[in-house]
Amino acid sequence: MRMPPQFLYVHVNKRCNLRCQHCDFWKQDDNDKHNYLSWERKRDILAEFAEINPQGKVVICGGEKLLDLEDYFLITMECRALGLRALGVTNGTRIYDECIAERLICEGAHEITVSLDSHMEILHDEMRGVKGAFRKAVNAIRLLLAARQRLNAIDTRIYVMGLIFSRNYQDLDDFYNFVLNDIKADKLKLNFIQPTFGHQGETDDFFARHHHVDPDRLAEIIMKCDRKYKLELNPVWLDHVRMYFRSLNNSRDVQRGWGARTGTEEHICNSYERNIMVDHYGVAGLCFSTSFPGKRLQKKGDLRAFWEGSDALRNRMRQCNRYCGISHSVRRETSTLASRRPLLEPSGTRRGAFYNVSAPTI
Protein backbone atom coordinates (compact mmCIF):
# COMPACT_ATOMS: atom_id res chain seq x y z
CA MET A 1 0.00 0.00 0.00
CA ARG A 2 1.08 3.58 -0.63
CA MET A 3 2.54 5.48 2.31
CA PRO A 4 0.16 8.22 3.56
CA PRO A 5 0.82 11.89 2.76
CA GLN A 6 3.09 13.56 5.28
CA PHE A 7 2.04 17.17 4.68
CA LEU A 8 -1.25 18.88 3.93
CA TYR A 9 -0.96 22.46 2.64
CA VAL A 10 -4.02 24.67 3.24
CA HIS A 11 -4.51 28.29 2.21
CA VAL A 12 -5.77 31.21 4.28
CA ASN A 13 -5.60 34.20 1.92
CA LYS A 14 -3.94 35.72 -1.16
CA ARG A 15 -2.91 39.17 0.11
CA CYS A 16 0.20 40.56 1.73
CA ASN A 17 1.29 43.81 3.39
CA LEU A 18 4.85 43.79 1.99
CA ARG A 19 6.09 44.27 -1.58
CA CYS A 20 8.65 41.49 -1.95
CA GLN A 21 10.72 41.54 -5.13
CA HIS A 22 10.76 37.75 -5.45
CA CYS A 23 6.98 37.36 -5.13
CA ASP A 24 3.94 38.81 -6.90
CA PHE A 25 1.42 37.63 -4.30
CA TRP A 26 1.08 41.14 -2.90
CA LYS A 27 -0.46 42.19 -6.22
CA GLN A 28 -3.39 39.86 -5.58
CA ASP A 29 -6.36 40.28 -3.23
CA ASP A 30 -9.19 38.37 -1.58
CA ASN A 31 -12.03 39.99 -3.48
CA ASP A 32 -13.40 36.55 -4.36
CA LYS A 33 -13.19 35.22 -0.81
CA HIS A 34 -16.86 34.28 -1.01
CA ASN A 35 -15.76 31.55 -3.45
CA TYR A 36 -13.11 30.15 -1.12
CA LEU A 37 -13.49 26.77 0.51
CA SER A 38 -15.81 27.11 3.52
CA TRP A 39 -14.46 26.63 7.02
CA GLU A 40 -16.80 23.67 7.54
CA ARG A 41 -15.43 21.88 4.48
CA LYS A 42 -11.86 22.79 5.39
CA ARG A 43 -12.38 21.33 8.86
CA ASP A 44 -13.68 18.10 7.33
CA ILE A 45 -10.58 17.88 5.12
CA LEU A 46 -8.32 18.36 8.13
CA ALA A 47 -10.17 15.57 9.93
CA GLU A 48 -9.85 13.25 6.93
CA PHE A 49 -6.13 14.00 6.70
CA ALA A 50 -5.78 13.11 10.40
CA GLU A 51 -7.50 9.78 9.70
CA ILE A 52 -5.14 9.05 6.81
CA ASN A 53 -2.03 10.06 8.78
CA PRO A 54 -2.46 10.76 12.52
CA GLN A 55 1.17 11.96 12.61
CA GLY A 56 0.71 14.29 9.65
CA LYS A 57 1.68 17.95 9.47
CA VAL A 58 -0.40 20.85 8.19
CA VAL A 59 1.35 23.75 6.46
CA ILE A 60 -0.58 27.05 6.49
CA CYS A 61 -0.20 28.93 3.20
CA GLY A 62 -1.23 32.26 1.73
CA GLY A 63 0.11 35.74 1.40
CA GLU A 64 0.72 37.08 4.90
CA LYS A 65 -1.39 34.61 6.86
CA LEU A 66 -1.58 36.70 10.01
CA LEU A 67 -3.52 39.41 8.20
CA ASP A 68 -6.47 37.02 8.65
CA LEU A 69 -5.70 36.12 12.23
CA GLU A 70 -8.94 34.39 13.19
CA ASP A 71 -8.91 32.22 10.06
CA TYR A 72 -5.34 31.28 10.92
CA PHE A 73 -6.26 30.29 14.47
CA LEU A 74 -9.26 28.26 13.31
CA ILE A 75 -6.80 26.05 11.42
CA THR A 76 -4.14 25.83 14.12
CA MET A 77 -6.61 25.09 16.91
CA GLU A 78 -8.30 22.40 14.82
CA CYS A 79 -4.88 20.86 14.14
CA ARG A 80 -4.15 20.83 17.85
CA ALA A 81 -7.52 19.19 18.57
CA LEU A 82 -6.84 16.52 15.93
CA GLY A 83 -3.28 15.85 17.10
CA LEU A 84 -1.75 17.24 13.90
CA ARG A 85 1.35 19.40 13.97
CA ALA A 86 0.88 22.81 12.31
CA LEU A 87 3.62 24.77 10.51
CA GLY A 88 3.58 28.26 9.04
CA VAL A 89 5.75 31.07 7.70
CA THR A 90 5.14 34.76 8.44
CA ASN A 91 6.89 38.00 7.56
CA GLY A 92 6.62 38.99 11.23
CA THR A 93 4.93 42.36 10.73
CA ARG A 94 1.79 41.37 12.66
CA ILE A 95 3.68 40.07 15.70
CA TYR A 96 4.21 43.38 17.48
CA ASP A 97 3.54 42.83 21.20
CA GLU A 98 3.67 40.21 23.96
CA CYS A 99 -0.06 39.50 23.73
CA ILE A 100 -0.07 38.30 20.12
CA ALA A 101 3.25 36.47 20.62
CA GLU A 102 1.83 34.53 23.57
CA ARG A 103 -1.35 33.67 21.69
CA LEU A 104 0.71 32.36 18.80
CA ILE A 105 2.74 30.20 21.17
CA CYS A 106 -0.37 28.86 22.94
CA GLU A 107 -2.80 28.51 20.04
CA GLY A 108 -0.81 28.95 16.83
CA ALA A 109 1.47 26.74 14.77
CA HIS A 110 3.86 24.37 16.49
CA GLU A 111 6.58 25.54 14.12
CA ILE A 112 6.65 29.28 13.44
CA THR A 113 9.07 30.46 10.78
CA VAL A 114 9.80 34.15 10.25
CA SER A 115 11.14 35.28 6.87
CA LEU A 116 14.43 37.17 7.10
CA ASP A 117 16.68 37.54 4.07
CA SER A 118 19.77 39.06 5.62
CA HIS A 119 21.41 40.22 8.82
CA MET A 120 21.76 43.58 7.06
CA GLU A 121 18.71 45.76 7.59
CA ILE A 122 19.04 47.69 4.34
CA LEU A 123 19.14 44.52 2.21
CA HIS A 124 16.16 42.85 3.87
CA ASP A 125 14.07 46.02 3.58
CA GLU A 126 15.01 46.34 -0.08
CA MET A 127 14.06 42.72 -0.74
CA ARG A 128 10.75 43.08 1.08
CA GLY A 129 9.92 46.42 -0.51
CA VAL A 130 8.94 48.20 2.72
CA LYS A 131 11.20 50.19 5.01
CA GLY A 132 11.13 48.88 8.56
CA ALA A 133 10.41 45.26 7.55
CA PHE A 134 13.72 44.09 9.03
CA ARG A 135 13.11 45.59 12.45
CA LYS A 136 9.60 44.17 12.57
CA ALA A 137 10.80 40.69 11.60
CA VAL A 138 13.61 40.66 14.16
CA ASN A 139 11.32 42.05 16.85
CA ALA A 140 8.77 39.33 16.07
CA ILE A 141 11.38 36.59 16.51
CA ARG A 142 12.53 38.03 19.82
CA LEU A 143 8.93 38.36 21.06
CA LEU A 144 8.16 34.76 20.12
CA LEU A 145 11.29 33.42 21.79
CA ALA A 146 10.58 35.39 24.97
CA ALA A 147 6.95 34.22 25.01
CA ARG A 148 8.02 30.62 24.56
CA GLN A 149 10.37 30.90 27.51
CA ARG A 150 7.75 32.51 29.76
CA LEU A 151 5.20 29.84 28.87
CA ASN A 152 7.73 26.98 28.92
CA ALA A 153 6.36 25.89 25.54
CA ILE A 154 9.16 23.47 24.74
CA ASP A 155 7.17 21.88 21.89
CA THR A 156 7.17 25.07 19.80
CA ARG A 157 9.99 25.74 17.35
CA ILE A 158 10.97 29.24 16.23
CA TYR A 159 12.84 29.30 12.92
CA VAL A 160 14.16 31.84 10.44
CA MET A 161 13.83 31.33 6.69
CA GLY A 162 16.24 33.18 4.42
CA LEU A 163 16.05 33.56 0.65
CA ILE A 164 19.55 33.00 -0.72
CA PHE A 165 20.48 34.80 -3.93
CA SER A 166 23.32 36.68 -5.62
CA ARG A 167 23.53 39.53 -3.11
CA ASN A 168 23.60 37.64 0.17
CA TYR A 169 25.09 34.18 -0.37
CA GLN A 170 28.68 35.26 0.33
CA ASP A 171 27.59 36.64 3.72
CA LEU A 172 26.08 33.40 5.00
CA ASP A 173 28.56 33.10 7.87
CA ASP A 174 27.49 36.45 9.32
CA PHE A 175 23.85 35.60 8.63
CA TYR A 176 24.09 32.32 10.55
CA ASN A 177 25.89 34.08 13.40
CA PHE A 178 23.18 36.74 13.63
CA VAL A 179 20.31 34.24 13.61
CA LEU A 180 21.82 31.60 15.90
CA ASN A 181 23.92 33.67 18.30
CA ASP A 182 22.35 37.14 18.35
CA ILE A 183 18.63 36.51 17.90
CA LYS A 184 19.06 32.90 19.11
CA ALA A 185 16.42 31.33 16.88
CA ASP A 186 16.33 27.53 16.74
CA LYS A 187 17.43 27.27 13.13
CA LEU A 188 18.20 29.20 9.96
CA LYS A 189 16.53 27.48 7.00
CA LEU A 190 17.89 28.29 3.56
CA ASN A 191 15.49 28.70 0.65
CA PHE A 192 17.13 29.41 -2.69
CA ILE A 193 16.03 31.88 -5.33
CA GLN A 194 13.48 30.52 -7.79
CA PRO A 195 11.43 32.21 -10.49
CA THR A 196 9.30 34.97 -8.97
CA PHE A 197 6.36 33.45 -7.14
CA GLY A 198 3.08 34.16 -8.91
CA HIS A 199 4.77 35.96 -11.80
CA GLN A 200 3.23 35.31 -15.20
CA GLY A 201 5.11 37.81 -17.39
CA GLU A 202 7.21 37.03 -20.43
CA THR A 203 10.42 37.89 -18.57
CA ASP A 204 11.31 37.58 -14.91
CA ASP A 205 13.57 40.55 -14.25
CA PHE A 206 14.34 39.82 -10.60
CA PHE A 207 15.19 36.17 -11.23
CA ALA A 208 17.31 37.11 -14.24
CA ARG A 209 19.29 39.69 -12.25
CA HIS A 210 19.85 37.71 -9.07
CA HIS A 211 20.24 34.02 -9.94
CA HIS A 212 23.98 34.42 -10.58
CA VAL A 213 25.50 32.38 -7.74
CA ASP A 214 28.82 30.55 -7.99
CA PRO A 215 27.85 26.94 -7.12
CA ASP A 216 31.27 25.94 -5.85
CA ARG A 217 31.75 29.11 -3.81
CA LEU A 218 28.29 28.68 -2.26
CA ALA A 219 29.03 25.06 -1.37
CA GLU A 220 32.37 26.06 0.18
CA ILE A 221 30.66 28.73 2.32
CA ILE A 222 27.90 26.35 3.43
CA MET A 223 30.44 23.67 4.38
CA LYS A 224 32.37 26.17 6.48
CA CYS A 225 29.16 27.23 8.23
CA ASP A 226 28.31 23.57 8.77
CA ARG A 227 31.56 23.00 10.62
CA LYS A 228 31.52 26.29 12.50
CA TYR A 229 27.91 26.12 13.74
CA LYS A 230 27.67 22.30 13.97
CA LEU A 231 24.67 22.20 11.63
CA GLU A 232 25.01 18.52 10.59
CA LEU A 233 23.94 19.36 7.05
CA ASN A 234 23.05 16.71 4.49
CA PRO A 235 25.81 16.45 1.83
CA VAL A 236 23.38 15.08 -0.77
CA TRP A 237 21.20 18.16 -0.31
CA LEU A 238 24.31 20.29 -0.80
CA ASP A 239 25.10 18.41 -4.01
CA HIS A 240 21.61 19.27 -5.24
CA VAL A 241 22.09 22.93 -4.34
CA ARG A 242 25.30 23.03 -6.39
CA MET A 243 23.60 21.28 -9.28
CA TYR A 244 20.66 23.71 -9.10
CA PHE A 245 22.80 26.83 -9.47
CA ARG A 246 24.92 25.15 -12.11
CA SER A 247 21.69 24.51 -14.03
CA LEU A 248 20.68 28.16 -13.73
CA ASN A 249 24.07 29.37 -14.91
CA ASN A 250 23.95 27.05 -17.93
CA SER A 251 20.39 27.93 -18.91
CA ARG A 252 19.84 29.70 -22.23
CA ASP A 253 16.47 31.19 -21.30
CA VAL A 254 16.61 31.62 -17.52
CA GLN A 255 15.29 35.18 -17.90
CA ARG A 256 11.89 33.71 -18.78
CA GLY A 257 11.44 32.42 -15.23
CA TRP A 258 8.54 29.99 -15.05
CA GLY A 259 8.29 30.16 -18.82
CA ALA A 260 11.81 28.81 -19.34
CA ARG A 261 12.11 25.60 -21.36
CA THR A 262 15.23 24.64 -19.41
CA GLY A 263 15.26 23.13 -15.93
CA THR A 264 17.49 21.41 -13.42
CA GLU A 265 20.01 18.85 -14.66
CA GLU A 266 18.60 16.29 -12.23
CA HIS A 267 15.17 15.53 -10.82
CA ILE A 268 15.26 16.66 -7.18
CA CYS A 269 11.58 16.95 -6.22
CA ASN A 270 9.35 14.33 -4.63
CA SER A 271 6.38 16.45 -3.62
CA TYR A 272 4.12 13.84 -5.21
CA GLU A 273 5.23 11.24 -2.64
CA ARG A 274 4.45 13.27 0.49
CA ASN A 275 2.40 16.43 -0.14
CA ILE A 276 -1.19 17.37 -0.83
CA MET A 277 -1.77 21.05 -1.60
CA VAL A 278 -5.36 22.29 -1.24
CA ASP A 279 -5.90 25.70 -2.83
CA HIS A 280 -8.27 28.47 -1.77
CA TYR A 281 -11.14 26.87 -3.66
CA GLY A 282 -10.76 23.30 -2.42
CA VAL A 283 -8.83 21.83 -5.35
CA ALA A 284 -6.19 19.31 -4.26
CA GLY A 285 -2.89 18.83 -6.08
CA LEU A 286 0.42 17.05 -5.53
CA CYS A 287 2.39 20.28 -5.94
CA PHE A 288 1.76 24.01 -6.30
CA SER A 289 2.10 23.97 -10.07
CA THR A 290 -1.03 24.24 -12.18
CA SER A 291 0.70 22.17 -14.88
CA PHE A 292 -0.55 19.01 -13.19
CA PRO A 293 -4.31 18.61 -12.80
CA GLY A 294 -5.88 18.48 -9.37
CA LYS A 295 -9.20 17.28 -7.97
CA ARG A 296 -11.91 19.28 -6.24
CA LEU A 297 -12.58 17.92 -2.77
CA GLN A 298 -16.34 17.91 -2.51
CA LYS A 299 -17.09 15.24 0.07
CA LYS A 300 -15.52 13.00 2.69
CA GLY A 301 -13.30 10.41 1.07
CA ASP A 302 -12.20 12.63 -1.82
CA LEU A 303 -8.85 13.41 -0.16
CA ARG A 304 -7.97 9.74 0.25
CA ALA A 305 -9.26 8.90 -3.23
CA PHE A 306 -7.12 11.63 -4.77
CA TRP A 307 -3.99 10.50 -2.93
CA GLU A 308 -4.42 6.81 -3.70
CA GLY A 309 -5.62 7.30 -7.27
CA SER A 310 -2.89 9.59 -8.60
CA ASP A 311 -0.18 7.18 -9.70
CA ALA A 312 -0.49 8.18 -13.36
CA LEU A 313 -0.01 11.79 -12.31
CA ARG A 314 3.00 10.82 -10.21
CA ASN A 315 4.60 9.13 -13.22
CA ARG A 316 4.29 12.40 -15.16
CA MET A 317 5.68 14.43 -12.27
CA ARG A 318 8.78 12.22 -12.06
CA GLN A 319 9.79 13.73 -15.40
CA CYS A 320 9.47 17.31 -14.15
CA ASN A 321 12.69 19.29 -13.62
CA ARG A 322 11.22 22.75 -13.11
CA TYR A 323 13.22 25.13 -10.96
CA CYS A 324 10.78 24.90 -8.03
CA GLY A 325 12.30 21.48 -7.29
CA ILE A 326 14.82 23.24 -5.02
CA SER A 327 12.02 24.70 -2.89
CA HIS A 328 12.01 23.92 0.81
CA SER A 329 8.45 22.59 0.44
CA VAL A 330 8.99 20.03 -2.31
CA ARG A 331 12.65 19.06 -2.60
CA ARG A 332 13.45 15.39 -2.07
CA GLU A 333 16.41 15.94 0.22
CA THR A 334 16.18 17.71 3.57
CA SER A 335 18.98 20.08 4.50
CA THR A 336 19.98 18.25 7.68
CA LEU A 337 20.85 14.62 8.28
CA ALA A 338 18.65 14.49 11.37
CA SER A 339 15.50 15.25 9.38
CA ARG A 340 16.34 13.06 6.40
CA ARG A 341 13.40 11.19 4.87
CA PRO A 342 13.40 7.59 3.60
CA LEU A 343 13.43 7.05 -0.14
CA LEU A 344 10.17 5.73 -1.59
CA GLU A 345 9.77 3.43 -4.55
CA PRO A 346 7.16 4.42 -7.16
CA SER A 347 4.75 2.04 -5.38
CA GLY A 348 5.15 4.01 -2.18
CA THR A 349 7.16 1.34 -0.33
CA ARG A 350 10.37 2.20 1.49
CA ARG A 351 13.72 1.41 -0.11
CA GLY A 352 16.17 0.52 2.63
CA ALA A 353 16.70 3.17 5.25
CA PHE A 354 17.79 6.39 3.57
CA TYR A 355 19.37 7.80 0.46
CA ASN A 356 23.04 6.99 0.13
CA VAL A 357 25.12 9.80 1.55
CA SER A 358 28.29 10.81 -0.25
CA ALA A 359 30.43 13.80 0.55
CA PRO A 360 30.27 16.52 -2.11
CA THR A 361 33.38 17.52 -3.98
CA ILE A 362 34.37 21.08 -3.12
Q: What is the pLDDT of residue 351?
A: 45
Q: What is the pLDDT of residue 290?
A: 85
CA distances to 14, 137, 143 from 130, in Å: 18, 12, 21
254 and 342 in a common domain: yes
Identify each DSSP E strand in the chain by its residue range. Answer: 7-11, 57-61, 85-90, 111-115, 157-164, 187-192, 275-278, 283-285, 295-296
Closest among 260, 12, 238, 292 to 284, alpha carbons compared: 292
Q: What is the pLDDT of residue 2?
A: 87
- pLDDT tier, 362 (very low <50, low <70, confident <90, very high otherwise): very low
227 and 124 in a common domain: no
299 and 261 in a common domain: no
Q: Give the structural domain span for 348.
A: 202-266+332-362
130 and 113 in a common domain: yes
Label residue 132 exposed, middle or buried (CB < 10 Å: 0-12, 13-18, 19+).
exposed
pLDDT in tens, 61-95: 999 999 999 999 999 999 999 999 999 999 999 99
Separation CA 8–CA 6 (nearest Å) = 7
139 and 70 in a common domain: yes
210 and 181 in a common domain: no
pLDDT in tens, 241-285: 999 999 999 999 999 999 999 999 999 999 999 999 999 999 999
Number of separate domains in the chain: 2
Looking at every residue in the chain, the average pLDDT score rounds to 93
Residue 323 lies in a domain: no
Please, what sign has the CA dihedral across residues 256, 259, 260, 264? positive
80 and 145 in a common domain: yes
Q: What is the pLDDT of residue 355?
A: 34
Separation CA 332–CA 157 (nearest Å) = 22
165 and 46 in a common domain: yes
Q: Which segments of 83-182 does DSSP mark as H helices, in order? A: 98-107, 121-128, 133-151, 172-177
189 and 103 in a common domain: yes
Residue 301 pLDDT greater than 50, yes or no: yes
Residue 73 lies in a domain: yes
- pLDDT tier, 342 (very low <50, low <70, confident <90, very high otherwise): low
Residue 359 pLDDT greater than 80, yes or no: no
249 and 177 in a common domain: no
Residue 63 lies in a domain: yes
pLDDT in tens, 121-152: 999 999 999 999 999 999 999 999 999 999 99
Q: What is the pLDDT of residue 201?
A: 86
Residue 152 lies in a domain: yes
Residue 325 lies in a domain: no
Q: What is the pLDDT of residue 199?
A: 87
Residue 181 is part of a domain; what is its CATH number? 3.20.20.70
- pLDDT tier, 339 (very low <50, low <70, confident <90, very high otherwise): confident
180 and 84 in a common domain: yes
Residue 338 lies in a domain: yes
347 and 298 in a common domain: no
Q: What is the pLDDT of residue 141?
A: 98
